[in-house]
Amino acid sequence: MRFDRIRLQNFKPYAETDLDLTDGVTVIHGLNGSGKSSLLEACFFALYGARALDENLEDVMTTGTEEAEIELWFTHDGGSYHIHRRLRKSGDRVQTAKCLLEGPDVSVDGARDVRGFVADLLRMDAEAFVNCAYVRQGEVNKLINATPSQRQDTIDDLLQLGKLEEYRVRAGKARLGVEDVLTERRGALSKVESQIEAKEDAGLHERLNALETELGEVDDQIERYEDQREKAVETRENAEEVLETYREKRAELDELAEDIADLRETIESDERKRETLRSEVGEARDSVEEIRDRIEKKRAETTLDEVTSDAIAARRDELDEREAEIRSDLTDVRERRTMLSNQAKKLRERAEEFESRAAEKRSRADELDDDAEDAEEELEQRSARLEELEAELESLTAEFEDAPVELGEAASHRDEVRETLTDVRAELTETNAEGENVRDRLTEARELRDEGKCPECGQPVEDSPHVDSIGEYEARIEELEATLSDLRERRETLNSRLERAESLVETENRIGELRNSRELFEQRIEDARETVEERRTEAETLREAADKLEAEADEKRTAATTQAEAAEDAAETVEGLESDLESVAEAESRLDTLSDLRSKLTETESEIERLEERRESIAELNDERRERLAEKRDRRSELADEVDESTVEEAKAKKEKAENYLEQVDEELATLREKRDSLQSDIGGVNGELEQLEALREDRDELAARVDALESLHAETEELEAMYGDLRAELRQRNVETLERMLNETFDLVYGNDAYSRIRLDGEYELTVFQKDGTALDPEQLSGGERALFNLSLRCAIYRLLAEGIEGAAPMPPLILDEPTVFLDSGHVSRLVDLVDEMRDLGVRQIIIVSHDDELVGAADELVTVEKDPTSNRSSVRQEDPEELIAAESFAGD
Ligand SMILES: Nc1ncnc2c1ncn2[C@@H]1O[C@H](COP(=O)(O)OP(=O)(O)OP(=O)(O)O)[C@@H](O)[C@H]1O
Ligand SMILES: [Zn+2]
């Protein structure tokens, strides 16, 4: 078997990887954690699924991805196979979405079927594969640490010796089953035999003869007693018959006496009954007379000529017709009465309504008059106020007659005067200031003149022009004084004129106000006048309407009275009709009385007839009874003659005797019959036992034959079981010997040390290592490296044994070693290289080794480098030429 190609997608650290694998030694190398082991696991997973890796599907799919694919192509026994697995995440779980194996003429679908198919094809299940072909990392010590029996199981399993054990166990089970059945049958047989013996000892035939003789004797006795019993019964019956006849006659006599007494009594009582009936008939006849009288009297009260049912019916029809007429009239008149009184009521209501509406209108009219009066009063007040206004207006207007301005110009006039006054005041102030100034200069000039200096320049004043100006100054002052007094006069005049103007402005404003008021009042007076007019007219209209309504109310009232009178008339008619109805009812009741009387009469008459009939029939019955009475008397005297007492006594004695005998014989017979029954059942029992004996003998023969057959079967199964056991032991012994030899050869090859003489693998699969001096060592006592070498040897030996054992029937899978050099020093790595060479020489087609050891790399035919991208954490593979790599590395080393 050979792996050809593996393709991965999202398997563990691999995103996308496709790797071709070839014959020879392939070394997979790379740094720790780069994904080397994962690559091997992928091959293993492809073949057997996740459980074989002790992992879940979740573990094999690259974390964070949703889908993974694993494809493995391999060649086996000349055929090419392809396994394709696809995993898909659904929720938290990962499921196998596809698992398909295709090979020559075969296609297997489904994870379980594929696993089964691969195990059959390679003749190895996952565990066997791991034990023989795939040395997993860290599991080097597994076979050494295993107990001998575990080791035995593993190796037996690989060599398919387990099958023989299975067959042996099965044969053992069959033997045990046969033993169970045999024991049970043997028990049954001895039971049957002891039963037969017991029965044969019992002397069944003799017992049967004795019982049958006794039964014959008892039967004879029974027959005899039965004959005698029959005779006694006959005697007793005859006596009983005699007694019975006697008893019957006595009974008949008693009965007859009773009958005779009864008959006589019945006849007498019936005669009394007839008497009563006769007087009842008489009474009924009287009553008929009385009823006839009453009928005649009643008829006289009616219009009937004769009292027949036809006449009564005719009269009743007449009355019914009359009643119907009256009732229909009554209905009409009642309706009319109701209608009229309703109308009267309505009319009265209308009249009242009109009246109340008229009253309303009148009170409204009164209110309107009041309003009009109020309005007139106000009108007068306003007129008076208007007159006052006009008087004031007139006097104020008069104020303007001697005024300096016209009405309406007072304000502008006042403003003019105020302006002029302001000008005059300003002029006055100016003039005053100038006067002051001129006076100051004059004073200064006078002082200078007095000092003799020019007031202007302080030069001596001789002929100074400045002194001349004193005169000027004095003239100017005079002038200014005149202007001042003039201005003062003007100011006074203006002040009084302003006062007057302001009072005029006030008057003028007041006149404006008054004029407005007057206009307003005039308008209001006009309004009041209109209101008075309107109210009065409206009151008038309302009163007219009230008059009209009152007239209408009067009309309605009259009409109401008319209708009420008509209603009263109708009511009277109703009363008349009702009394008519009453008299019709009376007439009808008279007719009823008559019919009642008539039917009573008929009843009484038929009662009389009935009573007469009863009397008659009673008489007939009594005649019959008298005849029967005579007969019974005759029979009584006849019987009295027949009864004879002595015959009776004789019969009684005979009967008693027979009865005594019967009692005794019945007892005896019962005893005998019981005895017979028990004898018969004893005979039945003996016969039954004889039959049983026969059946038991048949059973015994059958059981004996069966036990013989089982015994020979048991012997056969024992042989078979022993044969499988021997065969396995023999095969195992052969295997153990071969395995021991191969283990020693391999160990010599890889260890090549003089310390150990040989390894022993005994029949119990116990492994022992012997040192040169002959002391024995448990393999677990070896050093780590020695143990690794020992294990490798054991594995390779098993692999070789298997390869030879199968003898080409099923080509061996590739030998897969994961990190075999971990514990080895460089010398031993070379030995491992030798081992690998040897395995190849021995015909192992494909060897796949995971290692980072250079020497092993050198031994490789094919080199696969695994790398992991540190940023993406995804692994990838690269196929390289081993020669080149070694060269490059040693170059780098120099
Ligand atoms: N399901 C997974 N998804 C992603 N990465 C995974 C998954 N399972 C394992 N890995 C990664 O794969 C790597 C383990 O690979 P593997 O055991 O094949 O390494 P190795 O090359 O054999 O290392 P060593 O030399 O140490 O034996 C680890 O880095 C781990 O994080
Ligand atoms: Zn690893």
Q: What is the DSSP string of 287-325?
A: HHHHHHHHHHHHHHHSS-SS--HHHHHHHHHHHHHHHHH
The closest residue, in CA terms, to atom 8 on ligand 1 is 12
Mean pLDDT, all residues of the chain = 87
CA of 9 to the centre of ligand 1 (A): 15
Query: pLDDT at position 341, please?
Result: 93
User: What stretch of H or E contains 833?
Assistant: helix 826-841
Residue nearest to atom 7 of ligand 1 (CA): 12
What is the pLDDT at residue 334?
93
Q: Which of 36, 43, 94 to mutate to test the pocket of ligand 1 (most atoms within 8 A of CB)?
A: 36
Which atom of ligand 1 is closest in space to residue 34's alpha carbon?
A: 21
- Is residue 720 within 8 A of residue 798, CB to CB? The reply is no
Read off the pLDDT band of 887 (50, 70, 90): low
Ligand 1 center to 33 CA (angstroms):
5
Q: How far, in Å, from the CA of 141 to the mean position of ligand 1?
A: 22
Strands of the 756-761 sheet, one edge to the other = 756-761, 767-771, 776-777
Note the pLDDT tens digit of each residue in 352-395.
999 999 999 999 999 999 999 998 998 899 899 999 999 999 99
Residue (of 637, 639, 656, 631) closest to 246 by Cα position: 639
d(CA 589, CA 583): 10
Ligand whose nearest atom lies closest to the CA of 32:
1
The whole-number pLDDT of residue 491 equals 93
pLDDT in the model for residue 891: 45
| Cα-based distances in Å from 612 to 36, 266, 270, 439 | 144, 20, 14, 193
* pLDDT per position as a tens digit, 832-877: 888 888 888 877 888 999 887 878 888 888 999 999 998 888 999 9
Describe the chain by its helix, strand, coil percentages, rounded to 5: 75, 10, 15
- Specify the residue with its C-alpha closest to ligand 1, atom 25: 32
- Whole-number Å distance between alpha carbons of 612 and 274: 9
The atom number, within ligand 1, closest to the CA of 30 reads 21
Residue 61, strand partner residues: 11
pLDDT at 302: 85
Mean pLDDT throughout 163-186?
A: 87
- From CA 552, how far away is CA 889, in angstroms rounded? 146
309 is in an annotated binding site: no
Residue with the two structure tokens 């020695």: 786
pLDDT digits (tens, 9 = 90+) for 108-139: 999 999 999 998 888 788 887 877 777 776 66
**Ligand having the closest approach to the CA of 35:** 1
Atom 16 in ligand 1: residue holding the nearest Cα: 35
The ligand 1 atom nearest the CA atom of 868: 29
**To the nearest 10°, the Cα dihedral for 798, 799, 802, 806?**
180
CA dihedral for 707, 713, 718, 721, sign (positive or negative): negative
Separation of alpha carbons 108 and 101, rounded Å: 5
Which of 258-268 are b and which e, b meaning 16 or more Cβ less than 10 Å from the residue's Cβ?
A: eebeebeeebe
Cα 38 to ligand 1 centre (Å): 6
What residues contact 543, with CB distance under 8 A and at least 6 apart? 361, 362, 365
Please state, in angstroms and rounded to a whole number, the distance separating the CA atoms of residues 9 and 827.
39
First-to-last C-alpha distance (Å) of the chain: 42
Q: Contacts for 484-490 with beta carbons within 8 Å, 24 or more apart? A: 484/428, 484/431, 484/432, 484/435, 487/424, 487/427, 487/428, 487/431, 488/428, 490/424
Checking if the pLDDT of 886 tops 70, the result is: no
Pocket of ligand 1 (CB under 6 A): 12-13, 30, 32-38, 59, 61-63, 137
Please tell me whether 107 is known to bind a ligand: no
Hey, what domains does the chain have and what are their CATH numbers? 2-133+812-893 (3.40.50.300), 384-641 (1.10.287.1700)
Question: Rounded to whole angstroms, how far apart are CA atoms 796 and 849?
Answer: 14
Q: Which residue has the tokens 């573990």?
A: 59
Q: Is 90 annotated as a binding residue?
A: no
Q: What is 67-128 written as a DSSP string?
A: EEEEEEEEEETTEEEEEEEEEEEETTEEEEEEEEEEETTEEEESHHHHHHHHHHHHT--HHH
Cα of 795 to ligand 2 centre, how many Å? 20
pLDDT over 80 (residue 458): no
Ligand 1 pocket test, pick from 38, 41, 59 with the greatest ligand atom count within 8 Å of Cβ, gives 38
| DSSP-derived 3-state class of residue 773 | coil
Sign of CA dihedral 37, 39, 44, 49: positive
Mean pLDDT value of segment 606-616? 92
Ligand 2 center to residue 721 CA distance, Å? 47
Between the CA of 535 and the centroid of ligand 1 the distance, in Å, is 121
> For 489-545, what is each residue's pLDDT tens digit?
999 999 999 999 999 999 999 999 999 999 998 998 999 899 899 999 999 999 999
Q: Name beta bridge partners: 257.
A: none
Answer yes or no: is 454 a known binding residue.
yes
Residue 35 C-alpha to ligand 2 middle, in angstroms? 7
Q: Which amino acid is at 889?
A: E
Contact partners, residue 663, CB within 8 Å, separation at least 6 = none
Lowest mean pLDDT among 182-196, 755-769, 880-894: 880-894
Q: Which of 12, 40, 67 to mutate to test the pocket of ligand 1 (most atoms within 8 A of CB)?
A: 12
Burial of 349-382, coded b for 16+ CB within 10 Å and e otherwise, reads ebbeebbebbeebbebbeebbebbeebbebbeeb
